[in-house]
Chains A and B, each alone.
Chain A
Amino acid sequence: MNYPFWDVPLGYGILMGGIAVVHVFISHFAIGGGLYLVVAEQAARKRDDAAALAFLHTLSKFFARLTLVAGALTGVGIWFIIGLLNPAATEALIHNYVWGWATEWTFFFVEITAALLYYYGWERMTAAAHLTVGWIYFAAAWLSLFVINGILAFMLTPGKWLTTGNFWDGFFNPTFWPMLVLRTGVCVMLAGLYALLVAAPYAAGDFKARTVRTLTTWGLVGLAVTVAAGYWYWQAIPAEITTAALQMMPSPMRALRAAIWLAIALGVLLLVCRAMARQLPVALAVVLMAVGLAWFGSFEMFREGLRKPYAITGYIYGNGTEVAQVEHYRTDGYLSHIAYRSGDDGADLFRHACRSCHTVTGFKPLKPAFDGTDREFIAAIVRGTHLLKGHMPTFFGTAAEADEVAAYLFSRIDQRPLEQICAERGESVGPKAYAMRCGKCHPIGTASDKSVSFAGLDSDGLNGVLDMAASLGDGMPAYTGSPTERAALVAYMQTLGSQVTK
C-alpha cells in the first residue's frame, strides 16, 4: 500500500502473462539453442560436414537476433511490468535477492557478449576458438537460468526462509531442483523446436532428413525430461498448496490439464516430424512451434496460478497486501495505510483489495457477478473473499471499508431486481440466483457443494435455510434477495435436493 495503483482496463494477468510467456519461450531457447549449436558444430567439424556448418551458421544468425533482441528485451520488459503491477512484491524480492540478480546479470553480460562473438566469429575465428566461445555462451546462459530459477521457485515455495530470512534458505527452496531440471528439459526441447523451424525450408534430401531426425531427438528427449521433472515438481510442492489447488482453484488446474494434453500433442507431432524427416513441411514446423508456445503458456499459467492468493507464498498477497501487516490492517483499516489516494475512498479500496485480479466490466469482471444483487450482499462477499472459490486473498480492512467497496461496486452494477435482468436475458432466475448467492462458495459438483443438505427439505424448510443463512457458517452472507428471487431460488434448491435423493 506504499505505492500508487496502476488502474488500466486490461487484466494484470494478461499484461504479465503476455510479456512473460513470450520471454520464457525465447529465453529457454536461448539456452537450449546455445547447447545445440555448439554440440552440433563440434560434431559437424569432426565429420567435416560443410552442409551442417552452413545450416548452423544460418541458425546462429536467427538465434542471435531473436535471443538478443526479443529475448533480452522481453526480459527487461518483465522487470518493467512487475514493478508496475506489484511493486511491493518486487521491492521485497529485490531487497532479499539483489545479489542473486546482480550475479545473474554477470552471467547475462557474458552470455550476450558470447552470443555476439559466436555469431560474428563464424567469419573470423579459428574453429577451436569459436567452439570455446560457444561453450562459454551455453555455460553462462544455463547459470543465468540457475540463478533466476532460485528466485522464481522461491515465490511459490519460500520454505524455511519464512522463519529464517536467510538468502540461501529461500534460494535452495523445496522446488528449486525439480524446477531447474524441468526448465533444463524445456531448453533442450525448444532447441529442437526452433531449429526445426529453420531446417524445414531446406530442400528435401539426406541432409534435411539427418538434421530433422537429430532435432526431433532433442525435442523428444527434452520433452521426456520435462514430463518426468514435472511430476517431481508436483510432488515437491507442499501438500497444502496442491490440496488447495485441487479443491478450490479451477484456473491453474485447467491450465495444468491443458499443459498435459499439449505435451502429448507435442510428443505426437515430434514423432510425425521424425517420420517425415526427409520432407518436413514448413507448416508442420510452424504448428509444432505454436503448440510448443501454447504448452509453455499453459504450464506458466499453472505455475503462476498455483501461488494464489499470494505473490510470495505466505508473505505478500497477490494484491500487494503484506502478511506481516495484517494485524495493522485489521485494527487501522486499509485506508490509513494507502500512501497514494485519489480522493475516492471506495475506488482506492477497490483498487488495492480487488483490482489487481478483477475489473468492474473488463477482465474477470465483477459487474456480472453482482448484477441484480444488493449492497449488503456485496459487502458480505467482500468480507468473505477468502472463502470464495478461486483461493482469493482475505479482505483485512474494517467492516466500514468493506461497505465502501460494496458501495463502489453497487453504484456500477445493474441495480434492477435479478428477475427483471434474467427476464431480459432469457435466463432462469433460480439457477442464476443460486450461482450468484450460493455458488460463489458452493459450486455444484465440487468439494464444497452443499446441495446434499437440501435433500428432503420442502419449500418451508429451504426458506428456513435462507432465513438463517448468515448464521450457518463463518462468512456466510444473509439472504437479501427479493421475494420473487427467493421463490425461484427455493424452487431450484428443491430440484437440487431431489436430484440428490434420486
Chain B
Amino acid sequence: MTLPNYEFLSAPLWLVTTLHLLTLSLHFVAMNFLLGGALLVGHVARRGGGNTPMQIRLTRLLPTTMAATVTLGVAPLLFLQLVFPRQAYAAAIVSGWFWLLVVAAVLIAYAALYLCAGRSERSGRVSLPPLLLALMGLVYVSITYSAIFTMAERPDLIRALYAKDQSGLVWNPEWSDYLLRWLHMVAGAVTVGGFCVGLLGRNDPETYGTGKSFFVTGMALAAVLGFGYLLSLLPILVAFMRTPAIWALTAAIILSLGSLHFFFKKQFAASGVMLFLSLFGMVYARHTVRLLKLAGQFDPASWRVAPQWGPLVLFLVCFVLALAVVAYMLRLFFSPSERPA
C-alpha cells in the first residue's frame, strides 16, 4: 500500500503567504496595542497620573486586547508551521523550555491584566504591581519569539547549538541577529500603543497628548532601530535591495510618516489605515529577509502544491461569515439599549 505523502502545500504558496502575512499583521496590531498600551498606562501611572477615567478605561481594555492578540496569533503561527515547519520546530526544540515557557508567561500576563483591571476599577487608580507583572510576561514572550524565529533562519546555527546541548535549555546566543529587530518591534508597539491611546482619548486633551507623545517617540525610536537592523543585515542587504521588498519598505516608511501627519490633524481613520499598511509593508519586508537568509538551504517554492479546494473554500466562507458575525455582534453590543440585560 502506498501511503499518502504529507510533504505538500494544500493551497498555492502565494495564497498561504498572503494569509500568513495578513493575519500576522493583524496579530501585530493587537499585540502592539497590548504591549504599547500597557507600557503607556504603566509609564503614566508611575508618574502619578494613573487615576483618570481614561487610564482606568485603558486598563480595562487590556485583557480584551490580550484575548485579541492570542486569537489573532493562532492563524499566523499555523501558516508559518505549514510553510516553514522544519525551521520553526527545529529552533523551537533547541530552545524547548524557553518556547514552552511562553505559554506560562502569557497565562500569567493575562491573569495579571485581569487582576489589574479589576483592582484599578475598584480603587480608581491603576494598580501597578499586576501591570508590571503582565509587562514582564509580554516582554519575555516578545524577546523569546524574536530569538527563536531568528534562529529558525539559520539551520547551521541550530545544528551547532543542538550538537552541544539537547536539553532545550539553549538560548539563541547570536544577539546581533535579533536584538535590534526586537527593540524595533518594541518601539513599534509604543508607536501603535500611542496611536490607539490617542484615538481612544481624542476628546480628552491630556490623554490625546500622552498618546501623541508616545506615537512620535515610538516612531522616532523605531526608525533609528529599524535602520540599525537594516544595516545589521549587511551580508544580504544587496540582495534585499534587488527585491520588491525594498519598495514595500520605502512605502511603509512614507506611510508611517503620513499616518503621523493625519494623527496630528486628528484624522484617525486615514492615520489608522496608513499605519496598518505601513505595518503590513514592514511585515512583507521582514518576510523577504527570512527568504533571503534561508536562500540556498530552503525555498518555500520547492513545496509540491496539491490544493484541497473544498476545505480551502470552506475556510474562506467561514472566515467571511466569522467577520460578518463578529460585526453583527459588535453592532448589537454597541447599539443603545432601552433595558440592560
Contact = CB atoms under 8 A, between A and B. Distances in A.
A494 B6 CA distance: 53
Interface string A124-162: 111101101100100010000000000000000000011
A164 B4 CA distance: 7
Contact of B322 (A2, A8, A110): A110
Nearest to B77: A79
Given A92-B6, A126-B339, A167 B92 contact: no
B166 A5 contact: yes
Interface stretch (B82-90, B194-202, B245-253, B257-265): B82-90
Nearest to A126: B337
Interface centre among A99, A100, A342 (most CB of B within 10 A): A99
A91 interface: yes
Contacts of B8: 95
B89 A87 contact: yes
Interface in B1-39: 1-11, 19
Given A3-B89, A114-B329, A105 B78 contact: yes
A121 B339 CA distance: 12
Report the interface size class on chain B. 35 or more
A122 B341 contact: yes
B132 to A, nearest CB: 18
B67 A112 contact: yes
A161 B4 contact: yes
Given A76-B103, A80-B103, A94-B81, A129 B341 contact: yes
A343 B163 contact: yes
A103 B73 CA distance: 15
B301 interface: no
A6 interface: yes
B10 A98 contact: yes
B305 to A, nearest CB: 11
Interface centre among B63, B88, B96 (most CB of A within 10 A): B96
Interface in A162-195: 162-165, 167-168
B224 interface: no
A69 B312 CA distance: 30
B114 A69 contact: yes
Nearest to B164: A342
Interface string A66-88: 00111011101101110110010
Main secondary structure of the interface of B (DSSP, over half): helix
Interface string B70-108: 111111011101100110111011101101101100110
Contacts of B319: 102, 106
A7 interface: yes
A117 interface: yes
Contacts of B96: 6, 8, 84
A27 to B, nearest CB: 14
Contacts of B75: 102, 105
Interface of B: 1-11, 19, 63-64, 67-68, 70-75, 77-79, 81-82, 85-86, 88-90, 92-94, 96-97, 99-100, 102-103, 106-107, 110-111, 114, 158-159, 162-163, 166-168, 308, 310-312, 314-315, 318-319, 321-322, 325-326, 329-330, 332-333, 335, 337-341
Interface of A: 2-8, 19, 65, 68-70, 72-74, 76-77, 79-81, 83-84, 87, 90-92, 94-96, 98-103, 105-110, 112-114, 116-117, 120-127, 129-130, 132-133, 136, 140, 161-165, 167-168, 314-315, 323-324, 340-343, 351
14 contacts: A5-B93, A65-B114, A73-B103, A91-B81, A95-B6, A95-B7, A99-B311, A106-B318, A109-B322, A124-B333, A126-B337, A132-B332, A136-B325, A140-B325
